[in-house]
Structure 1
Amino acid sequence: MRIYENPEKTFENRINPKSFYHIAGKSEFCLLNGEWDFAFFKNETEILETIEKWDKITVPSCWQLQGYENPNYSNINFPYPVDCPFVPDENPCGFYRRTFTVDKKWGRIYIGFEGVSSCAFVKVNGKDAGFTQGSHLRAEFDITDYVAEGENTLEVLVYKWCAGSYLESQDMFRYNGIFRDVYLTQRPAGHIEDIEIIPNAEKFDIKIGTNAKLKIFEGDKLLIEKDIENELVFVPENPILWNAEKPFLYTFVFEKDGEILTLKSGLRDIRISENYELLVNGVPVKLLGVNHHDTSKFRGWCQSEEELRKDLMLMKELNINCVRTSHYPPIPQFIEMCDEMGFYVICETDIETHGFARRTAGGNGYDVQSNDWPCSRKDYEAEHIDRMRRMVELFKNAPSVIMWSTGNESAHGVNHVKMIEWTKQRDNTRLVHCEDACRKGQFHNSDVYSMMYLGYGELESKALSNDINRPVFLCEYSHAMGNGPGDLVDYCEIFRKYPKVIGGCIWEWADHVVTENGVEKYGGDFEGELTNDSNFCCDGLVFADRSFKAGSLEAKYAYQPMKAMFEDGVLTVFNRFSFTNLNEYKLNIEIKVDGKTVSTETRTLDVAPLSKTEFPVDIKKYECFHGAYLDVSLSKGDFVVAQEQFELPCNIKPTEKTTEKAKLKEDKYNIYACGEDFSYTYSKFYGGFTSIKVKDEEQLAGRTK
């Protein structure tokens, strides 16, 4: 058996997973991103001992977008016949090479990879330095014994498929290569290996396993400066709690032997109430979420930090407060941003075996021969636990992470049970999510009853069921393809009606496409695809360029933190925030008649979280041609967070009819219909009206869509 086909051999020489922190001071950190030498081979038998001609490739990147092989989109199917754990002999591989310089060798030297698909064999100066699999999981190797002062050569052999590929059948374009950051660190010999800061609502339990000097800051204010040995319990005098609406973070600075380590964390508590509500710091919270894949229309899986931050900023605009990292862990900086900007995160490990549902002709289910899925195979036990452990250890200090997820659409077997047992033993401060356990009726293993794509009636029946003694959560719902999000308001009404239903995550955030020569492509647009699922990857709440769709605005409205009702001259305003008073926003009240503003008022309302207020609004019966409306909006600065509109009573005046016929004309781009007092402009390019004028007054705020 080839080593990369052995699921029990998940790594060699990889150091134990640890939490994410920033390194400074005496220690050296060097990104190895940039231009590398590269050679591509159709299978391992073609690999040459001496490569005379090297290509150049950018790291990080996906080699399918660098001119080697074509992209392939598959929702479920594996791109090869299922013979687990074996993969085809025709297994393409990429050979990467670059040099790095160590001016002075001291302490310990490490090489780190944030993401390599599907597995990597690492050599330093011709010597085997390590092996790893698990595409979206960090891997670090101690290469001290292989490094010399001066110039060193780093080589990485990456295989397209390995035994771990059977755990990576996610709904996405299937890419390969070194697609996340590569970095070199040089640290003191006795450095801090790991930092654990267990968050709760009262104190920080800090563990570092050695001695160091610690400083803790609340903003710019130094709270404590202390030499610690192994661990410390720190209780702030007036603790400021973290939540997604007010994401306050404390800063921790550790110093040892000239090395400085920094990270941020927050105080918060996650619990389930007696009636199965989700409580954050003792307050009920609804998860108004979305599933997020790493996807760039030009770079595939390689999203930059700037692109990821833009995604999160746009989510904030749409009132999204929760992200499920579907279906693999993100880069550490993404979770840092969620901590900083305020999101509740369901952090999911890199496991999906959906392709087993179609491994036989006509097969499309979870129950047929499910005992041969990896989740039930002894030889895949170590691989399952390893992938869970690497995620949990990396993000254990993140206050934004409120649930650990065992993966997606992978049936349910003993390996899931062991993953859950390990996770609960390692971390009892967060919930554990396993949708597959609920699908199989074994939800006692999961802290939440998680399902996907339930209808309204099914969801309500789960909410009312006495047999389900835990929160109900939709890890996927309201499939955002086409007009899919049109049902969001109805779902959110159920979320808010039943305390037990804690929310859900829309499938999914952004369209997946590959842009070539200005053309956006998806499944079926590339040569050599054994299997593809056409345009099913274009199912995002936003377009691939992150511009909004109609569904985006529907999500913003369904998720908005204010609800208003108007009846008998009384306006009732509900505050849906869990931690924010409405006095931090402006309430704008505007009356429009025939599109013209006749009255405006701005108020600051003192409405506590999850409370309401009411007050009269002076209206009259208006004379108009088209209608009168009361517009109510909640804003901060120029940004509108929530809005409602109510039709007002009015006397409709008859409109004067004309006998004049419209004159039609057209040019290359538009069709025009014109009369004495009106004109219409219809765009052939956009397929909608770009202008409607009556008596020279524009009636459209923008083009119709």
Structure 2
Amino acid sequence: MDSLNLSYLSNPEVIGKKLLEEHSSHHFFIDGKEPIFSLNGEWDFYRSEGWVDELLDYKTLAFKKVIVPNSAEMETPEDLIYTNIDYPWEGKEKLNPGEVNLLRDPVNIYRKKFVFPKEFKGKEYRLRLEGFETAIYVFLNGHFVGYSTRLYVDSEFDLTPYLEKENELVIYNFRFSSSSWILDQDFWKLSGLFRSVSIVAIPEIHLEDIDIKSDLIHSFKDGALSIEGKVSQDCLAQISLCKGDKTYFNEEIPTKNSSFSLHKEIKNILPWSAEHPHLYWLTITLKNGEQEETSSQEIGFSHQEIIHGSAMWNGKPLFIKGVNRHEINDMHGRYLPYADLLFDLELLKKNNVNAIRTSHYPNDKRFYELANRMGFYVMDECCIESHSRVQQANGDKSQYLPGSNPKWEKMALDRASSMYERDKNNVCIFSWSLGNESGGGENIKKLSNYFQSKDKKRWIHYEPEQADPELSAYVSIKSFMYLPPEKLEIYLREHPDKPVLECEYEHAMGNSLGNFDEYMRLFRKYPNALGGFVWDYIDQGIVVNGKLRYGGDSNDVPNDLNFNCNGILFSDRKEAKRSSKLRTVNAMYSPLQILFENDEAFFSLDPNHTYKDFSLFLEDLVNGKKAKETKIIWKGEEKLIIPYEKMPNEHIRRIRVKNKLNLSEVVFDEKRAFSYQSKEEEKAMQFVDSYRYFSLKDEDFAFIFSKFGLISGLVGIEINGKEILSSQVRPTFYRPISDNDRGNLFALRSSIYMGISKWNAPFQVKQNGQKAIFAYMVGGLGATAEVIYELKEG
């Protein structure tokens, strides 16, 4: 076998060896079939906890069978590591930026033996790896094919000189490399081949790259289309644009110097938006004699601009109602089956989410195709994060990575260019994000300059800009993380010149999302408020032997416990039965908001919607069960009167909204400012007094109070003679802490309230008609609290 140069692993300037040039992701066909030979499935696998030279003689290793794609740690769960900020080697060894300790760098060796089919013909054969972590060396039949740290996008190598009838493909995959230093994300530190592996047959004439730029013109009625293509050799290019049975143009143009271009204006184009994701099929057929290749791409037409600080999409205000989303499966790690991908987007669509941030790396290519079709605004984010390094620098920008260090420029720019070239033709992408939590520096500025040189239309995002004024000119959007509503409102009011985004907000860990409505009020009030992305979509626990693991469950030190479980869904993609997080997102993001109070209903609509998009129903519930449903005739009025129809027992009214566009349903409960029961119908309750106890009762209910002693206050509730209260009711000024409380030190700051909740006693008790009033001494500090029980029938 050819040699394996381990020095590449610690050199950030070595992105790859023999890597083929990045290009657009587009489907192409020969005789109606995609010439792709899948290598997914069963592979031989061996894992070493560090490098030893004996690994070069891979034929002597005790391989086992595994399935690719998958994260390697699913085979060795004792090696799972989760950290939020820290590098996994911190506190264990002293490494300089870019360095790895080979003796403690786990190595996965994958081997695939395959017979290459005779009918699979091409001029050139390329190995394509769509995603891995964090470095790979590739060998075919003993020959070195190439090296790559191009993580979450396609790495392609030329197999043509080495391919035989019977083949042995061997991949050495290292968990850590120089690329790990700017892969410091709040996530599991995994390795392995977690996306598809395949061989692509490249024909004699081939569309190597296609760059499609589309826009709306003439008051958003017509489309402007620009196409730049690169081909393997000069030929004739037939280009057509269709939607359904309609063909908008079909032209043949000759290529010149292995390239071609076409610029068209197209009448009466339907705009693309998340609400109305209209797409068109662009087809390019290359012809040279009997040789023919057909490529296809779904494209859309949209226009985005910033006017007086407001982000506009197709001439209307853009409102981002988004989530941050990791690619994670609780049984497979990074590998996300297509069924899960489809489930995620369908669920989000039905719950009024219209935008996704690919936190913090490019996603599976199929994600963007679905986002185009289903309608999601996508923030595509570079795989750059060095949170620990920034934190340790303590303001010393020379310590940032990639910062201004010239050794890290090439890797940073490759992360940007490989993402851009693969994803550039997806209409769903509204913003390129330069990375996450990596500080500032010249290399970050160069990333922005790169995107702006390639794409004048889409906006540039980078949240660390808000702490580094030098970066202000390099972003289009002002971005914050977890800026409290009161501070956000001040900023929105005082800085109207640029769209403002909460790229992370509403940290959905445990019992959370309590102040969602405060953010939504601001997003809907201020023209420069762009919206935000909830952190995040799904918990990131991993199942091992039937049990869910978080940080620390695999003897991983350092770790951050269960801080990676902060999703609106559980790790198995199920909604918590007792939690309302998903329902809260659905209601807060609903494009139709209703305030239903007494007999009045007030309506407000978000941009890109009309009243025709909705069906409304009034539901009367009696004792928790629906007794009646009435369709509400609404034609866009801001206010409707909805008369009350009296019903017996416990009567609740609500309005159910059905969205015809995304099939979502949202319920708005009535807020009552008064009782529907007339005063004439109220019945007085009987007062029964004794030395220590008294009660307020009628024929069905009894509320029993103790006047003094260790057990005092409300001590019993009887319904039809049956006691339902398990213990006395006392004043409580504290509550159980949640996961988010641990993070913000709530327990420490409010611990005094736990004490006064435990130690309090009444010193004065009054009964006044239907009222029972208890005055308590609390905490021995001279403070008092008054609790009033006012009882009414009805």
TM exceeding 0.5: yes
State the match for 1:196 in structure 2: 211
- CA shift at 1:465, angstroms? 2.1
How many residues were matched structurally? 657
- CA shift at 1:629, angstroms? 3.0
Q: Deviations over 1:224-244 (max 9, x none)?
A: 222134111233321011000
The aligned amino acid for 2:319 is: K
Aligned mate of 1:206, from 218, 227, 237: 227
Aligned mate of 1:646, from 662, 667, 670: 670
Aligned mate of 1:525, from 553, 556, 561: 553
Aligned mate of 2:107, from 87, 93, 98: 93
CA distance in 1, matches of 2:722, 2:661: 37
Structure 1 residues 300 and 568: CA distance shift in structure 2, 3 A: closer
- CA shift at 1:541, angstroms? 1.2
Structure 1 residues 638 and 458: CA distance shift in structure 2, 3 A: closer
Structure 1 residues 659 and 204: CA distance shift in structure 2, 3 A: closer
Aligned mate of 1:347, from 380, 398, 404: 380
* SS of residue in 1 equivalent to 2:587: helix
Verify the 8 A CA contact 1:509 1:541 in the aligned structure 2. Answer: yes
Q: Does 1:164 align with 2:172?
A: no
State the match for 1:235 in structure 2: 265
State the match for 2:27 in structure 1: 22
- CA shift at 1:34, angstroms? 0.5
- Indicate the RMSD between aligned Cα atoms, in angstroms: 2.6
The 5 A counterparts of 1:640-679 are 640-648=664-672, 649-651=675-677, 653-654=682-683, 656-658=698-700
Q: TM-score, normalised by structure 1?
A: 0.88
Q: Deviations over 1:154-175 (max 9, x none)?
A: 2211111111110101001111
Verify the 8 A CA contact 2:239 2:282 in the aligned structure 1. Answer: yes
- CA shift at 1:220, angstroms? 3.6
- CA shift at 1:66, angstroms? 1.3
Aligned mate of 1:2, from 4, 7, 25: 7
* SS of residue in 2 equivalent to 1:499: coil
- CA shift at 1:28, angstroms? 1.4
Name the larger-Rg structure. Answer: 2
Q: TM-score, normalised by structure 2?
A: 0.78
Structure 1 residues 168 and 681: CA distance shift in structure 2, 3 A: farther
* SS of residue in 1 equivalent to 2:274: coil
CA distance in 1, matches of 2:400, 2:702: 75
- CA shift at 1:623, angstroms? 6.9
CA distance in 2, matches of 1:66, 1:597: 50
The 5 A counterparts of 1:373-522 are 373-441=401-469, 442-466=471-495, 469-522=497-550
State the match for 1:583 in structure 2: 612
The aligned amino acid for 1:224 is: F
Structure 1 residues 643 and 9: CA distance shift in structure 2, 3 A: same
Structure 1 residues 614 and 423: CA distance shift in structure 2, 3 A: same
CA distance in 1, matches of 2:407, 2:76: 36
Structure 1 residues 659 and 314: CA distance shift in structure 2, 3 A: closer
Structure 1 residues 614 and 47: CA distance shift in structure 2, 3 A: same
Verify the 8 A CA contact 1:633 1:642 in the aligned structure 2. Answer: yes
Q: Deviations over 1:314-365 (max 9, x none)?
A: 111221111000000001100111111100000001111112145xxxx4x6
* SS of residue in 1 equivalent to 2:201: strand
Q: Does 1:633 align with 2:650?
A: no
State the match for 2:783 in structure 1: none
Identical positions, percent:
27
The aligned amino acid for 1:546 is: R
CA distance in 1, matches of 2:723, 2:421: 64
The aligned amino acid for 2:481 is: M
Verify the 8 A CA contact 1:629 1:647 in the aligned structure 2. Answer: no
Q: Does 1:51 align with 2:51?
A: no
- CA shift at 1:387, angstroms? 0.3
State the match for 2:744 in structure 1: none
Q: Does 1:563 align with 2:596?
A: no
Structure 1 residues 206 and 606: CA distance shift in structure 2, 3 A: farther
Verify the 8 A CA contact 1:588 1:635 in the aligned structure 2. Answer: no
Verify the 8 A CA contact 2:400 2:438 in the aligned structure 1. Answer: no
- CA shift at 1:103, angstroms? 1.6
State the match for 2:338 in structure 1: 305
Which moved further from structure 2: 502-511 or 550-559? Answer: 550-559
The aligned amino acid for 1:613 is: E
Q: Does 1:536 align with 2:545?
A: no
The aligned amino acid for 1:536 is: F
* SS of residue in 2 equivalent to 1:374: coil
CA distance in 1, matches of 2:174, 2:598: 69
Verify the 8 A CA contact 1:339 1:399 in the aligned structure 2. Answer: yes
Which consecutive unaligned segments of at least 5 residues does structure 2 have? 1-5, 217-222, 686-697, 705-716, 727-794
Q: Deviations over 1:518-572 (max 9, x none)?
A: 2111011113x12100011111111112222422211111111111234684433
Aligned mate of 1:266, from 300, 303, 313: 300
Verify the 8 A CA contact 1:73 1:533 in the aligned structure 2. Answer: yes
Q: Does 1:180 align with 2:175?
A: no
CA distance in 2, matches of 1:597, 1:547: 26
CA distance in 1, matches of 2:356, 2:510: 21
State the match for 2:70 in structure 1: 61
State the match for 1:686 in structure 2: none
CA distance in 1, matches of 2:571, 2:725: 29
CA distance in 2, matches of 1:164, 1:231: 37
Structure 1 residues 372 and 323: CA distance shift in structure 2, 3 A: closer
Aligned mate of 2:163, from 147, 156, 175: 147
* SS of residue in 2 equivalent to 1:429: coil
State the match for 1:115 in structure 2: 131
Q: Deviations over 1:143-197 (max 9, x none)?
A: 222223x222222111111111101010011110111111111121331100111
Structure 1 residues 89 and 513: CA distance shift in structure 2, 3 A: same
- CA shift at 1:122, angstroms? 1.2
State the match for 1:315 in structure 2: 348
State the match for 2:695 in structure 1: none
- CA shift at 1:625, angstroms? 4.7
